[in-house]
Structure 1
Amino acid sequence: MADVNSHAYNSLWQFRGDAWSRLEEASERLSRSANAGKPVDKLTETVEGLLGQLGAFERFWAFPGVSVFQQAQRLFAAADYDRFARSVARINRALITESYRGGSTIATVEGQHEIGTDHGVIDDGRSNHNDRPYFEVLVVETMTEAQERAMRAEVRSWRRPDDAFIYELVVVGSGDEAAIAVRLNPNLQACVIRRRFAHKSAHDLSGLTEFLDANVSDDLADHSPEERAQILATNIVGTRPEMDLYLMTEIEVEDAAGKLGHHFRRVFHSREGSLELHLSLLEGVAARYRTPFFSALKEYSHRPTGVFHALPVSQGKSIVNSHWIKDMVGFYGLEVFLAETSATCGGLDSLLEPTGPLRDSQKLASEAFGSRHTYFVTNGTSTANKIVVQAVVAPDDIVLVDRNCHQSHHYGLMLAGAQVTYLEAYPMSQYSMYGAVSLREIKSKLLALRSAGKLDRVKIIMLTNCTFDGVVYDVQRVMEECLAIKPDLVFLWDEAWFAFARFHPVYRPRTAMGASPNLLKKLRDPDYKAEYAKHAEEIANLDDAALLDRRLLPDPARTRVRAYATQSTHKTLTSLRQGSMIHVFDQDFDQKVQETFHEAYMAHNSTSPNYQILASLDLGRRQVALEGFELVQKQVENAMQLRDAIDKHPLLSKYMHCLSTAELIPGDYRASGIDQPLRSGLRTMSQAWEKDEFVLDPSRVTLYIGATGIDGDTFKRAELMDRYGVQINKTSRNTVLFMTNIGTTRSSVAYLVEVLVKIAREIDDKLADMSPTDKGAHEADVARLTSASAPLPNFSGFHSSFLDHVDTEDGTPEGDVRKAFFLAYDDSLCEYLSPDEVEEKIESGQDVVSATFVTPYPPGFPILVPGQKFSRQILSFVRSLDTPEIHGYRPKLGYRVYTDKALEIANPRTTVGATAEPVAKPKTRVAAPKAVVTKAETAKVKVAGEPA
């Protein structure tokens, strides 16, 4: 079905939209040809095919709806091509402009009129509803057409002009149709499950399997009506957790409420509840529509006030009376200044001690994102990361962190005084970028720390999900296997670029707030306890090397689920710049972290937060709670359209192509064996996301441009941004990264393709006119960009002066970044060395130790941190980058490094002025002997570790 005009689709929404547009074109041509007496066989075949494709799923939308669609089919069957073409045009126009959302009722009475009078709908005679938000309600019950018409009429009879919203019904008769409807129709905001519905559809649904696998009929078979309602409700929540669910039954409604009430917002008696259901539907959507802080700020902005406080700009007073800066009002508008205040009274609230609307807004955000607690942050995820680190980590705690993470993690750990163990991500040297940290790498570090007797000091692991380049972890598996070794390990998932993922059913399980409740539910399942007992016996006698190759299971009796996610709302959802959130799912938060979190929150947040940012976070939450599912699916579809447009274009494909999953994720991490899951539809993508250790976020398109002979940074600045105004963020030496977001449109995708084609044509034209000398230079540039660069360097290690001061003889690599960082504050202990001088010292066997962070842009990860030793690989890598900027490196002076005297002062095993010979030091922690434990005890030592 999806191969219309040989075009691949990953969502049925866009396929549906394009199919209606094609049907309008074909029906218009059919009408003209028939009136002109021309042959119409081919056109009728095309129209018939499109009607067949659309007919498979139109029942899942309220507009045009089954009755209206069937009426159009009858016009076509009767060869009334003129009326058919007009009807199709009106329907398509209403779909494109979304005028059907304006509050008019859909014509369903057969034979009395054409399909609508204006844009495919009939005016219902009431007041103008165009400003009222529109949604649709799914009703699951087997009923006749007459019963369905009566139900729609009853619902419309309850409408009032002052209703805040307007809605229409979508009626399906089976459980599998309901499961499909919630996946296909983003307008659905609520579902009413009635007692009588079939478990399996009477319609042929095979044409939809390319887009989704929503078959729940086997689960629903052979169950009582109440059990089927519960199973269907669970399925719907798993797909669309934001939807309100209602149950209507006429048998033992009181018992049903007691047994099933926790699955539904309300339980109603079928004969009594129609008005109450109507009011509940409106109230349920209104609850998500609420924006407590934005509403309070808006109300405050219209009050006359006398300001005898800070902030002269409050209510615009310092601007509107000015002779020189009145243009600020013209540019920003008066409302933004009317809403400015430094007061926390008068219905507003304090960010640091919220007790009113801001507290309510954060609670609503917690419900939307699936956390136990959510906190707003007004100065970015950099601050959010530091807050979590300071709240959880005490000086000398051991922390595992991806070396390629955002610099805020490094600075946060430095401030906290942590002993840092850096984790290595898998390299992609061809593109000068790193992937993600493998589970094997993480487990090896944890097991080594356990063997060294340091597991009690390990506090937190910090990973970026997804990475800047779109590599996504299997979050639940990572948590499970790490908790099998360290049962109370805390996880900080930096989801700065992944806030949108909560609102798509395929993405959600690979987010921190999606995986954490799933893991907790699994640990509390009695069947899992039996599974773990068997697992513990199987691994009881395995050594650490063998455990690396086993999938480990956490002990349900000892494991605590403790996860934090930091998200840049402003990066991938709607918020003013620097608007971020911290989401908490920590079983021990109230007992162990709440007080320290509050102190960290106070330490890093301003006492004068920007109220406009807070209000935008409130509004951004409302948006995704009501339309996040739709927006994220369109974001993915736009990215797939971009991929197809580039890779299938004959000219573009000469000079560039979109890197596939197989090119960015090695086969060892893809158990599904699917090289390009993004090309095979949403269903195939889902299969890969269920199995693979790493997957690729389809909304990120990494464009390989090596064949252009233009490096990534030049392509970004000189070509895309300066000439065409195309904004992108990340590049490598031979790639540029395009990211679609919830604001991306098909027009913007088309513009980008147009720009890339212009660039490719210019390259083609220049090559044709080049002299042999110029062509040779161009070929050299291409060779440089397409050949492998210097290997990406691993973390070279901390100098012994900054290794863990508790024990430096056990081989574990953690180091004290804070000690190294602040040692550099004494200029007399630092010097600058050129790259050649650094290399000479390394060649002579001397250690050269960085006194600062050194971060090349691109690729944007720190290759040196304070206290880290230089290596030949690091120097070679930097020289091969041809990068325009390196933070921490001064071209005229070189690298800032420690003097030998500084390293002597810093080394706890030497005396200042003496030679740097090691001084014997007793170990403070000794690992328990492994040979004198029972099998059961061995299982605990091997898998569970020692909780802090």
Structure 2
Amino acid sequence: MARKLRTKPYTSLNRYHSVWEMRADGWINLTDDLGRLVDLGSGTPEFRERQARVKETLEMLLPIESYWAFPGKRLFGELCGWFAAGELARLHSAARRINRLLASNAYRHQEPAMDTDGEIPSEIDTEEERLAQIQRPYFEVLIVDEMSTDEEEALRRRVHKKRRPDDAFIFDIVVVPSFEDALIAVLFNINLQACVIRHGFPFKSEYQLDLLGKFLDGVDEHIECLPESERGPLLGAKISEVRPELDLYLVTDIKAEEIAIRVGDIFKRVFFREEDHTELYMAIMRGVGERFRTPFFTALVEYSKQPTGVFHALPIARAKSVVNSSWIQDLGQFYGMNLFMAETSATSGGLDSLLDPVGPIKLAQEYAARAFGARRTFFATNGTSTANKIVVQAMVQPHDIVLVDRNCHKSHHYGMVLAGAQVAYLDSYPLNDYSMYGAVPIAEIKRTLLRYRRAGLLDRVKMVLLTNCTFDGVVYDVERVMEECLAIKPNLIFLWDEAWFAFARFHPTYRRRTGMSAAARLHAKYQSASYADRYQAFSREFAAEDWNDEEKLVATRLLPDPAKVRIRVYATQSTHKTLTSLRQGSMIHVWDQDFKDKAEEAFHEAYMTHTSTSPNYQILATLDAGRRQAELEGYELVQRQLDLAMMLREQVLKHPLLSKYFRFLNVGAVVPAEFRDSGIDTYYDAQTGWTNMEAAWRVDEFALDPTRLTLSIGASGIDGDTFKNAYLMDKYGIQINKTSRNTVLFMTNIGTTRSSLAYLIEVLVKIATEIEAGVNDMSAIERRLHQKRIHGLTKALPPLPDFSSFHFAFRHAMHPSLADTPEGDIRSAFFLSYDEANCEYLTMREVNEAIATGIEVVSALFVIPYPPGFPVLVPGQVISAEILAFMQALDVREIHGYRPELGFRVFTPQALERMASENAGKAAAAVAARAAAPQEPARAHETEQATLNK
């Protein structure tokens, strides 16, 4: 009966942001319409209209529910049968109960009876149910096998009978019959934690879903013709690509031991036929248990229960200094005793040391590496600012050249100072209309590398440092950037600042644009015979003389030599920003195939340098628990975050008053057309829904993270700083992080709820209504002033300046043959400014006059306006006319490194002359050394690896 009900293809998904929203709305609408049908007479027009809507909803839900254990195919088929038989009251009662169970998640720990008039649970509110949810989490297992409904129910009964009271978890099963159904299930069903692939199965699903196209590239639809030994592993590989956190098991009818040898990296275990159901059951439980385990958090909990006598530091440990106080017992009441009972020191024993982990911290970091796809992971309790400095200091020696995005976080600039690096700043493309920058084009990076190659200095270029994603949501094609750079310098190190991108690992769309995922793919690619053939073809087409044609090199998609390339990738992530962790909880992820030989000792020294000897154990515990959450429910949480962001964008776009004053920037506004090969300028389309996002993220040089919602407010006549403080925060208590002159940035995260989203929309409507009323009440003069403010915020915006240059006093490459390279000695400039005698203050007028007469004025400090928050000037940088014009046009209140009453702190001419004289000797020595070992630029590419090995 259920199968016959469906009469049209399943295409309604395009109207929704996700299947989860569609499913939730479907059950709500079904319950409401059935309730009304029960009250109506059968002959009325409304009855017929509601009846048609119920039929449509059932048709919509039918394929969705086949991929979930509850209510599942069998029970949903019964509902469809009741509808066909006209048993509307019975159907309404069951639908109402299912809706409540789904909304509350109570079905996870209850045996629901649908055909009853008993009380319907609305939420998990009893202590028994709450403990059950904590102590025995529920999950579902996907079984890929063709079987009848009776066979499926018999399998479910066998699984339920194996449940034991001491099981750490409980699970139910979902059975699907085909290759496509399996992929749909892992995309739809957020409860899945494991997949068992059994015997033969066809390729096609009876449900037609366009969203599968991107996951089926290279998959032959005639999969049924493949032998079983290839069919199951192919499906396993595809599932692992989409959701790598799932445990995969293969049950085969042929030689299990031979298959296990070939596919051991895909499947956790391979079983022969059905010889041991109990072993498979236990393997599934054990696999989930491995991800559930939190070594350090568990150790900390156990430590808090131990009786101890504290005779070392930390009076607050065991809460002694709190509970014995007459004045601060409210501190204990506010935080609770567990916080203090778990407070201890690494020297007390039992809980491991962050600086030299050998126990639970070591295990916790290994589990984090597994979760984030790294070869090794290190925890940081001082935030990603410290994590960035650790990596820079470990990888960079004094006078190494580092290519740095000029608009990166200030910790990178200070890291360059500490490491003594020679910094070559890269310019991002400007978004002048919104007073913010995008990201650095690959052409800019390649040109800079080729300048160093032409100058014979490529051997000194050590690292490329980029922000992915940017504050405003611009995301690199990480794999392409690294691949093309490695074609020019095969052992280049990459540091990806993913402070705002830790969540990306746990969603298939985002994952491919992360540093760790791209590193693993590149390494696998360069080991393959197919890439070796591809590179040989590229080498034949790209002759040796072509390596002297820089414009051709920039325009060509370059491929690195697999015999020379080394994958050395680092990513720093603020776990506390986008996943679950206490403030300052961060991680450093490493995918460096030369780590043991070339980096380990230096990394550990840098780690020791910047890591506290008294790390906060509560932060470490939340990093451990946050990793568990990300592995077990990250996909669900990130998708929900994405759904809410898309919902907010759509609501503002459709609301007539909101869209009059506000506009969320789409990808076309944030990423110029030259970087969007897809031609897609918006991820949402009224006809196709949100399907454009997938296509754009696959091919465009830069993509936009839709969860970073930049709201353009220029049409309101209110600047970003005023909108943030006077309206959002002071008036409505809405917190945001970043503004520009005419934008404010909202971000959804894994903790965002539909209620908080509704509140934000409500607030924006109130603000828009207030603006509308104010505009309508303006006099003619006031209206002209208002229009002038709007013009200043939307049309008369100062162009964003590029990086000018370092003054020659802070450049070692002063010889004419080396003058084409842009690096500067930021460390020398930084510390030169410590001596008051080397500096003076000049007002903007005085700087302007000096520039007009041809005098170079050099900043002694970092100058950072907020907003936009990037350094306009760094120590040793020449103040250009464009930078000065930008500073004069700014109307922000906060500018770090600039004192309005004094002006700019700049170097005196005498200090610059003395510094230049000192560096001239160094430059001459460098030129002499190079002259002793000349190398033709044309042969630089061929001999580069030998030089680097020296």
Return the letter of the residue paired with 1:829.
N
1:835 aligns with 2:840: no
Question: If the length of structure 2 is used for normalisation, what is the TM-score?
Answer: 0.94
Q: Give the counterpart of 1:276 among 268, 274, 279.
A: 279
What is the CA-CA distance between 1:684 and the residue it aligns to?
A: 2.5
The answer to whether the 8 A contact 2:713-2:744 is kept is yes
In 2: Cα distance, 1:415 partner to 1:816 partner: 11
**Aligned residue in 2 for 1:770:** 778
What is the CA-CA distance between 1:302 and the residue it aligns to?
A: 1.3
Residue correspondences, number: 929
**Aligned residue in 2 for 1:151:** 155
**Aligned residue in 2 for 1:709:** 717
In 1: Cα distance, 2:80 partner to 2:755 partner: 32
In 2: Cα distance, 1:816 partner to 1:536 partner: 37
- Change over 3 Å in CA distance of 1:633–1:920 after alignment to 2: closer
Q: Give the counterpart of 1:539 among 537, 542, 549.
A: 542
In 1: Cα distance, 2:373 partner to 2:528 partner: 20
Q: Give the counterpart of 1:178 among 178, 182, 190.
A: 182
1:8 aligns with 2:15: yes
**Aligned residue in 2 for 1:60:** 67
In 2: Cα distance, 1:274 partner to 1:561 partner: 42
1:925 aligns with 2:897: no
What is the CA-CA distance between 1:204 and the residue it aligns to?
A: 2.8
The answer to whether the 8 A contact 1:455-1:946 is kept is no
The answer to whether the 8 A contact 1:213-1:683 is kept is no
The equivalences for 1:117-132 within 5 A come to 118=120, 129-131=132-134, 132=136
What is the CA-CA distance between 1:790 and the residue it aligns to?
A: 1.7
Instruction: Using the aligned pairs only, state the percent identity.
Output: 54
Return the letter of the residue paired with 1:851.
A
In 1: Cα distance, 2:909 partner to 2:267 partner: 69
Q: Give the counterpart of 1:750 among 742, 752, 758.
A: 758
- Change over 3 Å in CA distance of 1:307–1:140 after alignment to 2: same
Deviations 1:477-501 (A, max 9, x none): 0000000000000000000000000
1:226 aligns with 2:232: no
What is the CA-CA distance between 1:260 and the residue it aligns to?
A: 2.8
Deviations 1:185-229 (A, max 9, x none): 11000001111322223x232476699879956273421112111
What is the CA-CA distance between 1:922 and the residue it aligns to?
A: 3.5
Q: 3-state SS of the aligned residue for 1:747? A: helix
The answer to whether the 8 A contact 1:107-1:116 is kept is no
Q: Give the counterpart of 1:51 among 58, 79, 84.
A: 58
The answer to whether the 8 A contact 1:288-1:626 is kept is yes
In 2: Cα distance, 1:433 partner to 1:166 partner: 50
- Change over 3 Å in CA distance of 1:562–1:85 after alignment to 2: same
**Aligned residue in 1 for 2:446:** 443
The equivalences for 1:197-276 within 5 A come to 197-201=201-205, 203-206=206-209, 216=219, 218=221, 220-276=223-279
Q: 3-state SS of the aligned residue for 1:852? A: coil
In 2: Cα distance, 1:61 partner to 1:932 partner: 62
1:366 aligns with 2:369: yes
Return the letter of the residue paired with 1:141.
D
Deviations 1:20-73 (A, max 9, x none): 111111111111113797752111111111111111221111111001111111
In 2: Cα distance, 1:880 partner to 1:837 partner: 16
What is the CA-CA distance between 1:923 and the residue it aligns to?
A: 4.7
What is the CA-CA distance between 1:506 and the residue it aligns to?
A: 0.6
Return the letter of the residue paired with 2:879.
F
**Aligned residue in 1 for 2:833:** 824
In 2: Cα distance, 1:212 partner to 1:707 partner: 42
Q: 3-state SS of the aligned residue for 1:139? A: strand
In structure 1, runs of 5+ residues without a counterpart are 913-917
Q: Give the counterpart of 1:860 among 865, 869, 879.
A: 869
In 2: Cα distance, 1:250 partner to 1:547 partner: 53
Deviations 1:780-819 (A, max 9, x none): 1111101141211111100000012575642101000000
**Aligned residue in 1 for 2:611:** 605
In 1: Cα distance, 2:471 partner to 2:204 partner: 43
The equivalences for 1:411-810 within 5 A come to 411-540=414-543, 541-542=545-546, 543-679=549-685, 680-805=688-813, 807=815, 809-810=817-818
The answer to whether the 8 A contact 1:806-1:923 is kept is no
1:940 aligns with 2:942: yes
Deviations 1:528-550 (A, max 9, x none): 11111121222222111211100
Q: 3-state SS of the aligned residue for 1:349? A: coil
- Change over 3 Å in CA distance of 1:253–1:237 after alignment to 2: same
1:378 aligns with 2:381: yes
In 2: Cα distance, 1:364 partner to 1:339 partner: 22
Question: If the length of structure 1 is used for normalisation, what is the TM-score?
Answer: 0.94
- Change over 3 Å in CA distance of 1:943–1:154 after alignment to 2: same
What is the CA-CA distance between 1:129 and the residue it aligns to?
A: 3.9
The answer to whether the 8 A contact 2:466-2:495 is kept is yes
- Change over 3 Å in CA distance of 1:568–1:59 after alignment to 2: same
In 2: Cα distance, 1:188 partner to 1:920 partner: 64
In 2: Cα distance, 1:741 partner to 1:219 partner: 41
More helix by share: 2
- CA RMSD after TM alignment: 2.5
**Aligned residue in 2 for 1:32:** 39
**Aligned residue in 1 for 2:881:** 872
Q: 3-state SS of the aligned residue for 2:722? A: helix
Q: Give the counterpart of 2:890 among 868, 881, 900.
A: 881
The answer to whether the 8 A contact 2:251-2:274 is kept is no
The answer to whether the 8 A contact 2:456-2:935 is kept is no
The equivalences for 1:313-392 within 5 A come to 313-392=316-395
In 2: Cα distance, 1:672 partner to 1:498 partner: 23
- Change over 3 Å in CA distance of 1:92–1:264 after alignment to 2: same
What is the CA-CA distance between 1:883 and the residue it aligns to?
A: 1.1
**Aligned residue in 1 for 2:5:** none
The answer to whether the 8 A contact 2:247-2:267 is kept is yes
**Aligned residue in 2 for 1:135:** 139
Q: 3-state SS of the aligned residue for 1:448? A: helix
What is the CA-CA distance between 1:609 and the residue it aligns to?
A: 0.3
Return the letter of the residue paired with 1:65.
G
Q: 3-state SS of the aligned residue for 2:17? A: coil
The answer to whether the 8 A contact 1:468-1:497 is kept is yes
In 2: Cα distance, 1:580 partner to 1:275 partner: 40
Return the letter of the residue paired with 2:797.
S
Return the letter of the residue paired with 2:98.
I
Return the letter of the residue paired with 2:650.
D
Return the letter of the residue paired with 2:190.
P
In structure 2, runs of 5+ residues without a counterpart are 1-8
Q: 3-state SS of the aligned residue for 1:451? A: helix
What is the CA-CA distance between 1:285 and the residue it aligns to?
A: 0.8
What is the CA-CA distance between 1:677 and the residue it aligns to?
A: 2.3
The answer to whether the 8 A contact 1:11-1:211 is kept is no
**Aligned residue in 2 for 1:915:** none
In 2: Cα distance, 1:606 partner to 1:750 partner: 42
Return the letter of the residue paired with 2:789.
D
In 1: Cα distance, 2:684 partner to 2:103 partner: 27
Q: 3-state SS of the aligned residue for 2:930? A: coil
- Change over 3 Å in CA distance of 1:244–1:682 after alignment to 2: farther
In 1: Cα distance, 2:386 partner to 2:118 partner: 54
Return the letter of the residue paired with 1:817.
I
In 1: Cα distance, 2:232 partner to 2:689 partner: 30
Moved more, 782-791 or 490-499: 782-791
Moved more, 243-252 or 750-759: 243-252
In 2: Cα distance, 1:786 partner to 1:151 partner: 64
